[in-house]
Structure 1
Amino acid sequence: GIVCIFRWGFPGINRHIFLRFLMRDVQPIRIEIKEGLFPRRILYMEIRGQGSIPLTRTDENLTPREIEQKAAELAYFLRVPIEVF
């Protein structure tokens, strides 16, 4: 199968961001957690040969339960593991 990710970027020439890659190239779904004064929880999709693609906005303040739920649903659908950093 093929995974397609589309999003609107910043206004200008490259406003449309469209990524396409094979499902077999999707490696783990990664949750990055930074605690402290300004905690951040970001969900990434690791793609073989392309690195990490962030799936949540950096200003999106998801609870630990919400980020785990999103990661679990996506990992189950894509049949890949989850890694937490």
Structure 2
Amino acid sequence: MKRALAVLILASLAATAAAADTYRFGSQVISTGDSEGRLRQVAGKPDRETPIETRRGGLEGYRLEYYRRGKSIQFKVVDGRVAEIAQIDN
């Protein structure tokens, strides 16, 4: 029973690690959960910064967008942390 539980826990941890979004800027990697400061330090000034509003019109966070090699990389920043990473091919 303990072995089955340990296998289940390890499998869930592996699935969580595999689901994390990452993006590489040169030799540095940005992951979900990294701070906005680290993102700006590694990636530099964003090409576009857009506020994200809640349903009621309040500020939820920001979408920082970088253009690299014909692609748009968008980082959703909520509470000072990278919440989502999306890559859009143009």
Task: Tell me the TM-score normalized by structure 1.
Answer: 0.32
Which structure has more relative contact order (CA 8 Å, sep 6+)? It is: 1
Q: Between Structure 1 and Structure 2, whose CA radius of gyration is higher?
A: 2
Which one has a larger percent helix, Structure 1 or Structure 2? 2
